[in-house]
Homo-oligomer: A and B are copies of this chain.
């Protein structure tokens, strides 16, 4: 639930003297809350650092002492929302997938998420450090959902177990990546690019397609 291990914010030089006034912990939370609130009201494009500072009742300097800029701040403010996604056991793979698809769609329907995610990805095309941080803070973290769903389906016998050995593990990893890109990509594209609703009917049709594809994939892979 905490992205501290991924280290989004600026850290003081390690091993440095710990004298002086310590950073306010409350400020961090206030800033991230203010960032999300500003995203909701203004969207990425009109959000400004000064406005966030004012909302958080914090000086602008305090922001810059902790985050390198708007990109990093917003990414941090939004990444934590993705950690709320869960995969409750609904009894069968199809229902599990439909559930996570709808959960993800609901997350993307929130204004702070949708306006921020694409914007940060766009910025990442010209900022390698940011791209790395997105992968750490969002992409790789959420693959856990695919991994867990797959394991659960394997336990249920809905999917065959991984083949053993290094090659089997690599194949499994490739599968997870592919499935993740297909699910996340389709939902994001439907919701944000096509601009059509991701409702239960669409989720059902998509899941049908995906499940059939998974079985086809296994038989050849």
Contacts and interface: CB of A to CB of B under 8 A. Distances in A.
Given A212-B216, A213-B213, A217-B209, A189 B185 contact: yes
A134 interface: yes
A193 interface: yes
Interface string A119-134: 1011111100001001
Q: Give this chain's copy count.
A: 4
Interface residues of A, number: 57
A178 B206 contact: yes
Contact of A216 (B111, B188, B215): B215
A117 B211 CA distance: 30
Interface in A82-139: 111, 114-119, 121-126, 131, 134-135, 138-139
26 contacts: A44-B122, A44-B123, A45-B122, A111-B125, A111-B126, A115-B125, A118-B121, A119-B119, A121-B122, A125-B192, A139-B194, A178-B202, A181-B186, A181-B190, A182-B182, A185-B186, A185-B187, A185-B189, A188-B188, A205-B217, A208-B213, A209-B213, A209-B214, A212-B213, A213-B216, A216-B216
